[in-house]
Amino acid sequence: MKIKNLHIKEFKGLRDISINFEKNDKPLDLVVLAGSNGSGKTRVLESILKYFQDHLSYKQNNIEAGIFYEEKEKNCISNVRDFFYRLESFSYCEANDPLREKHIEIKNKLDILPKVIYVPTEINFQKMNTASTTLVQEYKFINIVNTNLIKDIPSYIATKMISAMLKNKNEKVGDVQKKVFNEINEIFENLSIDVKVEDISQDGRNITLFTNSSGNKFDINELSSGEKQLFLRTLAIRMLNPENSIILIDEPELSLHPKWQQRIVDVYTKIGKNNQIIIATHSPHILGSVRKENIMLLDKDDEGKIVVRTGDELYDSYGQPTDRVLKDIMGLQTTRNPKVFKLLEEVRKIVDRDEYNSDEFKEKYRELKGILGSKDEDIFLIDMDIKIRKKRGLKNAESK
* Per-residue pLDDT reduced to its tens digit, 5-56: 999 998 988 889 999 999 989 999 999 998 877 778 899 999 999 999 888 7
Please compute the mean of the pLDDT values over residues 128-145 and round it to a whole number.
86
197 lies in a domain? Answer: no
Last residue of a domain, one of 295, 328, 361: 328
> Looking at residue 6, what is its pLDDT?
93
Specify the DSSP class assigned to residue 190: G
Q: Is-contact 154 220, C-beta < 8 A?
A: yes
> Which amino acid is present at 379?
I
Tell me which residue of 395, 382, 381 sits closest to 355, measured CA to CA: 382
Whether 172 maps to a domain, the answer reads no
CA distance 307 to 17: 7
Instruction: Write the CB contacts of 206 (distance below 8 Å, at least 6 apart in sequence).
Output: 130, 131, 132, 133, 154, 155, 158, 200
pLDDT the model gives residue 279: 96
Say whether both 280 and 348 belong to one domain: no
Residues whose CB is less than 8 angstroms from the CB of residue 369 and which lie 6 or more positions away in sequence, other chains included:
379
pLDDT of residue 185: 85
Cβ proximity of 184 and 108 under 8 Å: no
Sequence-distant (6+) residues with CB within 8 A of 57 are none
Residues 61, 40 share a domain: yes
pTM, two decimals, is 0.81
Tell me how far apart the terminal alpha carbons of the chain are, to the nearest angstrom. 78
Its domain, for residue 119, covers: 2-145+227-328
DSSP state of 193: -
Question: Of 285, 283, 257, which is closest to residue 191 (Cα–Cα)?
Answer: 257
- 46: three-class secondary structure by DSSP: helix
Q: How far is CA 220 from the centre of its chain?
A: 22
Calpha distance 106→187 (Å, rounded): 31
Position 81 in a domain: yes
Cβ atoms of 180 and 161 closer than 8 Å? yes
- The verdict on 240 and 365 lying in the same domain is no
> Do 381 and 235 belong to one domain?
no
Q: Considering only CA atoms, which of 83, 64, 87 is closest in space to residue 74? A: 83
Q: Give me the number of domains the chain comprises.
A: 2
Beta strands in the chain (DSSP E): 2-11, 14-20, 22-23, 26-27, 30-35, 63-68, 116-119, 142-144, 196-200, 208-211, 217-219, 246-250, 276-280, 295-300, 306-310
Nearest Cα residue to 2 out of 256, 211, 244: 244
How far is 335 from 329, CA to CA, in rounded Å?
13
Pick from 328, 354, 372: which residue ends a domain? 328
Using one digit for the tens of pLDDT, what is the confidence trace for 333-390? 667 788 888 898 899 899 999 998 999 999 999 999 899 888 888 888 888 888 888 8
The answer to whether the CB of 128 falls within 8 A of the CB of 151 is yes
Residues in the chain, total:
400
Residue 203 domain-assigned (yes or no): no
Are 309 and 348 in the same domain?
no
**Does residue 117 register a pLDDT over 90?**
yes
Say how many C-beta atoms besides its own lie within 10 A of residue 11's C-beta: 18
Last residue of a domain, one of 297, 328, 359: 328
pLDDT of residue 139: 83
Q: Is residue 162 in a domain?
A: no
**For residue 361, how far is the Cα from the chain centroid?**
46
* 316 and 369 both lie in a single domain: no
Under the banding of pLDDT at 50, 70 and 90, the label for residue 68 is very high
Note the pLDDT tens digit of each residue in 177-235.
888 888 888 888 878 788 888 888 888 888 888 898 888 888 888 888 888 888 888 99
Report which secondary-structure segment, H or E, holds 370: helix 359-372
Neighbours of 208 (CB within 10 A): 27
**Mean pLDDT, range 156-165, rounded to an integer:** 87
131 in the same domain as 35: yes
* 3 strand-pairing partners: 67
